[in-house]
Chain A
Amino acid sequence: MTNLITLPILIPLIAGTLFVFWRKKLPFVRMGTQIITIINLIVTAFITFLVVQNGPIILETGGWVAPYGIILVGDALSLSLLLTTNVIAVAAAFYAPFSLDRGREEHYFYTFFLILIAGVSGAFLTGDIFNLFVFFEVLLMASYGMIVLGGTRQQLRESIKYVLLNLFSSILFVTTVSFLYSVTGTVNMAQLSERVGQVNQEGILTTIAILFFVVFATKGALFPLYFWMPHAYAKPPAVISALFGALLTKVGIYSILRVFTLIFNGNIDYTHSFFITLAGFTLIFGVIGAMSTNNIKLIIAYNIIPAIGFMIMGIGIFTDVSLAGSVYYLVHDMIIKGALFLLVGAIAIVAGTSDLRKISGLIKNYPLLGWLFFIATVTLAGLPPFSGFIGKLLLLKGAFENGHYVIAAIGLITSLLILVSVMRIFINGFWGVSMELPKEKRSIKPLYVPITFLLIFSVVLGIGAEWFLPHIQQIGVDLMNPSVYVDAVLKE
Chain B
Amino acid sequence: MELIMAVLAGLLFTAGVYLLLQRQVLKIVFGTALLSHGAHLLILTMGKLNRGQPPILEKGIEHYADPLPQALILTSIVISFGVTSFLLVLAYRAYKTNKTDNMEQLRGSDHD
Where the two chains meet, the residues of A that have a C-beta atom closer than 8 Å to any C-beta of B are 130, 133-134, 137, 141, 144, 148, 151-154, 156-161, 163-164, 167-168, 170-171, 174-175, 177-179, 181-182, 187, 231, 293-295, 298
Contact = CB atoms under 8 A, between A and B. Distances in A.
13 contacts: A130-B75, A137-B79, A151-B97, A154-B108, A156-B94, A157-B106, A159-B90, A160-B106, A163-B86, A174-B72, A178-B46, A179-B46, A294-B110
Contact of B39 (A134, A174, A293, A298): A174
B58 to A, nearest CB: 16
Contacts of B75: 130, 134
Contacts of B87: 163-164, 167
A152 to B, nearest CB: 8
Nearest to B100: A157
A178 B43 contact: yes
A37 B75 CA distance: 29
Given A153-B97, A157-B94, A168 B20 contact: yes
Contacts of A151: 93, 97
B39 A175 contact: yes
Given A163-B90, A167-B32, A167-B87, A181 B110 contact: no
B112 interface: yes
A154 to B, nearest CB: 7
- Which has the most chain B C-beta neighbours within 10 Å: A152, A179, A182? A182
Interface residues of B, number: 35
A157 B98 contact: yes
B35 to A, nearest CB: 5
B15 interface: no
B43 A171 contact: no
A158 B36 CA distance: 22
Contact of A158 (B80, B86, B108): B108
A193 B91 CA distance: 41
Contacts of A160: 25, 90-91, 94, 106
Interface string B27-65: 010001001101110110011100000000000000000
A88 to B, nearest CB: 25
B11 interface: no
B8 interface: no
Contacts of B106: 157, 160-161
When A and B form their complex, which 7 residue pairs have the shortest distance between CB atoms, in order from nearest?
A: A182-B46, A178-B43, A156-B94, A178-B46, A174-B39, A175-B39, A137-B79
Interface in B61-112: 68-69, 72, 75-76, 79-80, 82-83, 86-87, 90-91, 93-94, 97-98, 106, 108, 110, 112
Contacts of A295: 110
Given A151-B97, A153-B97, A171-B36, A181 B90 contact: no
A294 B110 CA distance: 9
A191 to B, nearest CB: 13
A130 B76 CA distance: 10
Given A178-B39, A179-B46, A168 B83 contact: no
Nearest to B83: A167
A154 B112 contact: yes
A158 B32 CA distance: 18
A181 B68 contact: yes
Given A160-B90, A174-B76, 9 more contacts: A130-B72, A144-B86, A144-B90, A152-B97, A156-B90, A156-B98, A159-B94, A160-B91, A171-B36
A159 B75 CA distance: 25
A257 to B, nearest CB: 24
Contacts of A171: 32, 35-36, 39, 80
Contacts of A154: 108, 112
A105 B98 CA distance: 24
A175 B39 CA distance: 5
A187 B76 CA distance: 15
A293 B110 CA distance: 9
B93 to A, nearest CB: 6
A379 B108 CA distance: 32
B70 to A, nearest CB: 12
A182 B47 contact: yes
Given A160-B94, A178-B43, A168 B32 contact: yes
A178 B83 CA distance: 20
Given A151-B93, A163-B90, A182-B47, A141 B83 contact: yes
B75 to A, nearest CB: 6
Contacts of B39: 171, 174-175, 178
Given A134-B79, A171-B39, A182-B46, A164 B94 contact: no
Contacts of B42: 175, 178-179
